[in-house]
Structure 1
Amino acid sequence: MKNIVFIIILFTYTLSSYSQFYKDYSWEEEANIVDLEATLMNESSIGVFEKTIVEFISGKFSNTIIKYETHHYQIKVLNDKGVSKHSNIIIPMNEVTNLKDIKVRIIDKNGELTEFDNNTIDELGDFESSVNFKNFHLAGLNDNSTIEVLYTLEKQYNIHGNKILQKSYSIKKSEFLLIPGPTQGIIKTYSVNSKVKDTIINTYPAKIIKVVDIPAIIDEEYATAIANRQRLSFQCPLPDDNMNQEDYWENIVSNISPIMFPKNIHPKIFEISSEVIQKNEINEYNIANNIDDYIKNNFTISENDNVSLNNINYILENKTSNDFSIIQVYTQLLTAAGINYEIVITSNRYYNRFDPEFFDPNMLREFLIYFPEEKKYIAPNRLEYRIGEAPFDLLGNYGIYIDRMLDFYFSEIIQSDQSYSRIKRNIKIEFERKLKKIVIDEYQEYSGHWATNNRSLLNFSDEEGLAGLKDYLTASGIENKKVINYEIINAELFQKNYNTPFIVNSKISTESLTTKIKNGYQVKIGNVIGMQSQLYEDIDRFHPIEVTYPNQYDYRIVVKIPKGYSIEGLEGLVFNKSYISLMGNKICKFESNYEINENELVISIQEFYKTLRYQKNRYNEFRDVINSAADFYNTSIKFIKK
């Protein structure tokens, strides 16, 4: 799996044999048509129940531990969308040594029963990534049918595991049963109200959790819906191991230390250093910046499954690596240059919440290099990033920080530069052809993550993508515009100075913003700031509020007032909505105002989001700020002939 650290520990103790629960487990003999409440009938499918049994036993002919996973679920398919979603059974095969059994039965709306087993179910061999998945097709599935699936996987022993309880469809009842057998079972749940309980299965201790009425994953703007899913993680170590959570973390640190903090420098590294680092250069930022840019311009990241891509000799000789092992080139060069750094291991906050208190290898998906003196990061596998703040999708998550002495600590990945991401715009507007045409002359500065995103699009997009970027950078949302001038400054991914802004000079003309009215023209002046996101729908907020990254907008719009005209509707340009923290500080706001200077209308706008997260119970305050920007975009003023 891409960019993930797996800790798979095989034990060779002689253990007594446990009975195998999965062999006696089966579905009910009679299949029944499932009837649902009327309130659920507007969904495309409903999970009637889902039961997962994870069982560990001693191997019969060896001293190893074997893991069995039994999956049993029933789904009511209500319409064509549901049919499309559930016509295939996709089984991940990671760590699987044998698919022990699979059987499926379908009852259609007329009560007719169709059954499949290992011999009769169709497996699709051309499925994408078929090595890692098995894909079984359910032929003839129709709406208002009930699907029941039962299969068991034999898997390699792995101390760690996890289970996603919440899906893209609602589930009436979910049950997870852990039978640790000769191991010790520990479960931790996330976003789940139910508690794990101890139970007995065939005279052996087990753990069970039952959850009812799990809603479908709700996708909301300004949220990390996938990371917020109801889920659980479990650990099943052997009793004699005496492993606690800190021991797992220490194992990680010990295992990665040879490549993260090399004691021996490869001879080729000194050759590269002399090429990359200027003689007598002592500035840490400049050295790290040059190393980062050199590697990203001269080394290729390969997705091939080739063990040589992990070997430093092969990597340096062929200048090719995978997206994990490329970090070796960084650590070799940084060590040779005498730069102090720390390694950070974390995960994408949109998919996984990093939990320092419960070790789960599934969290260990992203690597950063942190420079504590500079308070800046390098993301080795992100071609679009150069040294600066952490990538936006890692920002706000926790991570483990490891220093050269192999000491480690846990910390939230924070943004040290509070003004990192900003957009500044100076817009000049003049009228031509007796107010029928508007000419917009605009200067824009994008810094921080805005600049990174724009440079990435500019350097890696195809022609269609470049056309979309040009439209975005020249007042997006304005129809029938003619681009007179379009110039980009500081477009290169590498910038010598920290947080150099991405600058755009543009000039456009359009007749789509003016409408003839009695005695003058109405002008959609708000459109010049570009399209804005909105939260107009009045809903009960489900997820906590989380923005993409802290950022700020500062706009100055100067409109030349045509001779012989006055302006009406100026009061509609004034907005002032804010979200005030418990400490009394404005941490989120949209504020706009205007003034008349002789023959010019000057509009000033400031909008900012100072923090990453906002309280869910104050959603309406946050929503008012977002909607104020959208309201301004829809604002018009009138130019009336005197």
Structure 2
Amino acid sequence: MRTVFVAASLSIASACAAQTFDYTTPVSWPDHPQLHTVPPAFGEASAVTILDERSTEFRKDGNEFAVFEAFHKIVHIRDDKGIEMFNKMYLPIREGSEVTNIRARTILSSGKVIDVTPDKIKSTEEDGAQYRQFAMDGVEKGSEVEYYYEEKRPFYLFGSEFFQSGEVPCLRARYLLISPAGMKFSAKGYNGFAVSPDSVIGDKRVIAGAEDNIRDLPEEKYSFRDQYLARVDFKLSYNMGNAASVRLYTWKDLGKRAYDFYTTRTDKDDKALDGFIGKIPAAPDTSLGGRISYLEDYVKTHIDIDKKLTGSGGDLLPQILNTHTANDEGVIRLFAALFDKMGIPFELVLASDRGGIPLDPELEDWDRAENVLLFFPGTGAYLDPTQDATRYPLIRPTMAGGRGLFLKTLSLGSYTTALATFGMVPIAPWDSSGLNMEADLRFSTGLDTLLVHGRQIMTGYGAAEYRPIYTFLPKDKQDEANKDIVKSIGNSADVSNINVSHSAMTEAFHNTPLVIEADIRCPDLIENAGSRLLVKIGEVIGTQTEMYQERPRQLPAEMPFPHEENRTITLHVPDGYTVRNLKDLAMDVSFPNMGFTSTYAQNGSDVTVSIRETYKSIRYPLEEFEHFKKVINASADFNKVVLVLEKP
């Protein structure tokens, strides 16, 4: 079998990680492979990766550099689910790449080996993506699946390899990053994946990585998992033959390039901009924030943001203003130019997405700096230029609450550039985002239906989730959406008299509540039990998430945005009835930064329930998870409350 890794043997110890690294990993493909034993710690997994070894080598291919990657994996199958997971393989073919030297086989529990022959390997396409696909014959409980392939890719500067999955733990992971001696990369391991120092072996540079006993890490409710997966990131940092001490592709370099790209204008650009600005009416609110809000809405109303627009001038200002269509880069350039010409100071911010991998000041991965925000020092607020469904001062919630690279304008005489520094992009405070509700409950004449007048009252990010409905959907689809929103009160589709107020996108500026109200008939909220009426009052707040999990929690809890949920329910008790179990309405699960409380008050025949649920932070570490779970489950417990009404 060919040796695709470095043909030298060298092991060194990294004092900082107490990890021994092997710099030589010849792929072993014996004619008579032996089955492996799965340790008890992974005994409940449906499949276990015995070995996951990979390499990335940068080397000359003709007159140009290319990247040669190799993948070798052995997986032990333990049950029917594992069989389903690995009885068919799909090897992705990335754009511009070639997948070659595919080998695959199944090793049965009896020791018999079933090879995948070349004629069984097919090319296929699914959802626009290309794959090499083949079946693994004979996969059974106790068998093992082994496969190997190589991929040649165009040269790239930044890369990542993830060694942790949601369902399959891994006993042994190994990685090699190989480059010519004159091409020095930086690499960093995350979440337990250890990475060696850079070493020169012959005419090559090698970085090794390894981790044993990598647990599976499934998705969990209220979490963003990707940032916690075991991985290695790497990037080209030095050209050892030319200015070897100068670090390449730094965050400072990116800041300068991004600033120049988004802010440089020509005389032709300015002429087109002046014509566009001349058509913009005066902002009704002349405060700084009012002007920013008005200009954003005007641009997003008059310019179509087409994220797929490439190669056709979508980032050229004159063409944008002529066709009223821009791609992401183009609309950022347009906003930067407009705010500059209108004298409104701003800073470009390259933001992390909390749903993905955060930017790391220590390792400059430019590919992760794709999200651009505008920060306004004069107001302390942000604008999300490429998102037509957001309005100032709100941005996508996952763009807030994380690290960003701020590009502060720096002028040296006539020369203008940007100073790039890291800072946090704050998220709107918890009490500015509400998912609130008011419900007035009366009985029908026959006491067999609850007649509910419900009001959903949303602010901040709570409203931002719904306001795009009234801008981008046709009237019939708006009506459907309204019914879906309102019927969450009591889970009834019998909805009438819907009224929506303050639905305009620009209402976000003053945080005016979006109100959706309607009348709902809810026969399922009442059960007639002889002389008693059973009122499922807890279901009025809608179905709630439960977190009664058996498996220990592995990830911290993280909310999309901090918020409050204030609910008021007024029940008009029919004449002659009393409520036997009012105390069931009282609950209190409170902690310093989150809580669920419900109280009640009776005034004559009216019972008013006041519920307050708060999540004041976006992140709750594992040591606070039990508290978080209790709060989440408290709302689910209230959802089950049934009042018993009876006649004395």
Asked if 1:135 is matched to 2:137, the reply is no
Q: 1:369 aligns with which of 351, 374, 378?
A: 374
After superposition, residues 196-275 of structure 1 pair within 5 angstroms as 196=196, 206-236=206-236, 237-239=238-240, 240-242=242-244, 248-264=250-266, 265-275=269-279
How far did 1:629 drift?
1.0
When the two chains are superposed, the root-mean-square deviation of aligned CA atoms in Å is: 3.1
**Aligned 8 A contact 2:487 2:493 in 1:** no
- Alignment partners' CA distance in 2, 1:474 and 1:491: 15
Change in 2 beyond 3 A, CA 1:279/1:351: closer
Helix, strand or coil at the partner of 2:150: strand
How far did 1:164 drift?
0.9
Aligned partner of 2:291 in structure 1 is: 287
Asked if 1:384 is matched to 2:385, the reply is no
- Alignment partners' CA distance in 1, 2:432 and 2:111: 62
Change in 2 beyond 3 A, CA 1:243/1:34: farther
Deviations 1:290-330 (A, max 9, x none): 22222322323141442532333332222222233321221
- Alignment partners' CA distance in 1, 2:408 and 2:564: 33
**Aligned 8 A contact 2:449 2:523 in 1:** yes
Q: 1:422 aligns with which of 431, 434, 449?
A: 434
Aligned partner of 2:159 in structure 1 is: 161
- Alignment partners' CA distance in 1, 2:598 and 2:29: 66
Q: Which amino acid aligns with 1:490?
A: H
Deviations 1:155-178 (A, max 9, x none): 344342211111232222111112
When structure 1 is superposed on structure 2, of 616-625 and 197-206 the one drifting more is 197-206
- Alignment partners' CA distance in 2, 1:542 and 1:99: 36
Aligned partner of 1:151 in structure 2 is: 149
How far did 1:181 drift?
3.0
Aligned partner of 1:126 in structure 2 is: 125
**Aligned 8 A contact 2:347 2:408 in 1:** yes
After superposition, residues 159-198 of structure 1 pair within 5 angstroms as 159-168=157-166, 169-182=168-181, 183-192=183-192, 194=194, 196=196
Change in 2 beyond 3 A, CA 1:197/1:261: closer
Structure 2-normalised TM-score?
A: 0.86
**Aligned 8 A contact 2:394 2:508 in 1:** no
- Alignment partners' CA distance in 2, 1:525 and 1:394: 37
How far did 1:104 drift?
2.5
Asked if 1:634 is matched to 2:640, the reply is yes
Helix, strand or coil at the partner of 2:540: helix
Change in 2 beyond 3 A, CA 1:176/1:354: same
Aligned partner of 1:4 in structure 2 is: none
Q: Which amino acid aligns with 1:164?
A: F
Q: 2:581 aligns with which of 569, 578, 590?
A: 569
Q: Number of residue pairs matched? A: 613
Aligned partner of 1:396 in structure 2 is: 401
Q: 2:625 aligns with which of 583, 604, 619?
A: 619
Change in 2 beyond 3 A, CA 1:557/1:108: same
**Aligned 8 A contact 1:127 1:135 in 2:** no
When structure 1 is superposed on structure 2, of 175-184 and 605-614 the one drifting more is 175-184
Structure 2 regions of 5+ residues with no counterpart? 9-22, 411-417
Aligned partner of 2:53 in structure 1 is: 51
Helix, strand or coil at the partner of 1:227: helix
How far did 1:536 drift?
2.2
Structure 1-normalised TM-score?
A: 0.87
Change in 2 beyond 3 A, CA 1:631/1:515: same
When structure 1 is superposed on structure 2, of 369-378 and 302-311 the one drifting more is 302-311
- Alignment partners' CA distance in 2, 1:249 and 1:479: 51
Q: Which amino acid aligns with 2:125?
A: D
- Alignment partners' CA distance in 2, 1:242 and 1:197: 17
How far did 1:416 drift?
4.4
Identity across aligned pairs (percent)? 19
How far did 1:615 drift?
2.2
**Aligned 8 A contact 1:356 1:398 in 2:** no
Change in 2 beyond 3 A, CA 1:325/1:634: same
Aligned partner of 2:616 in structure 1 is: 610
After superposition, residues 577-592 of structure 1 pair within 5 angstroms as 577-580=589-592, 587-592=593-598
